[in-house]
A and B are shown apart, each in its own frame.
Chain A
Amino acid sequence: MWTLTQDWYGDRLDPDYSPASIETLQALLDGVGLTDAFWNLTA
């Protein structure tokens, strides 16, 4: 969870922050094993 959180929110305070794409965020979830349908970011 901590690794996921760092990857997901680590740049949130950057002045140049730009939201990650859905694909990028989904890959973060996949990367920590959250691959069940519950974790699909798109309906």
Chain B
Amino acid sequence: MELRSTVYRHLVDHGAAPSRQHLTELVGDVEETDALLAELHDRHLLVLDDRDGRVGNIRMALPFSNDPTDFVVTTDSGRWWANCAWDSLAILAALRIDGRITSTWSDTGRPVGLAVSDGRLVDARGSIHFAVPAARWWDDIVFT
């Protein structure tokens, strides 16, 4: 079983990443599961959670967030949280389907909506702010 692919498939199908417990049941061994997840985390293919009560679970499978965020992506097939504005677009790009993004403008607090229709971004106005230089994105990916 290719764990990364399994995680992403579960996330797409269910709107959330599989739990560490679920993955352990699939893999059959908790130590092997943790080792596989740690390797994926070290290779920046997943982001594991280090918060109390959630250690070892998946926090992010970029561009998807496993926690509720202000960036919600909705398609006819499902609904997912993104980590940021760029990840919102990235979810639709990764799914290769049309959909809608809802969020809030950070400067005004007003709601913002974007849509991809027929594979094209519709009426795209505004900007995405990148606060962290690219070389440092993975210094603290949760902050980024």
Give the interface of A toward B (CB within 8 A).
1-2, 5-6, 8-13, 15, 17, 19, 29, 37-43
Contact = CB atoms under 8 A, between A and B. Distances in A.
Interface of B: 2, 4-5, 8-9, 12, 43-45, 62-63, 86, 89-91, 93-96, 116, 120-121, 124, 128, 130, 133-136
Given A9-B63, A19-B44, A43-B135, A2 B124 contact: yes
A41 B89 contact: no
A30 B5 CA distance: 29
A15 B5 contact: yes
A10 B12 CA distance: 14
Contact of B12 (A2, A13, A40, A41): A13
A9 B134 contact: no
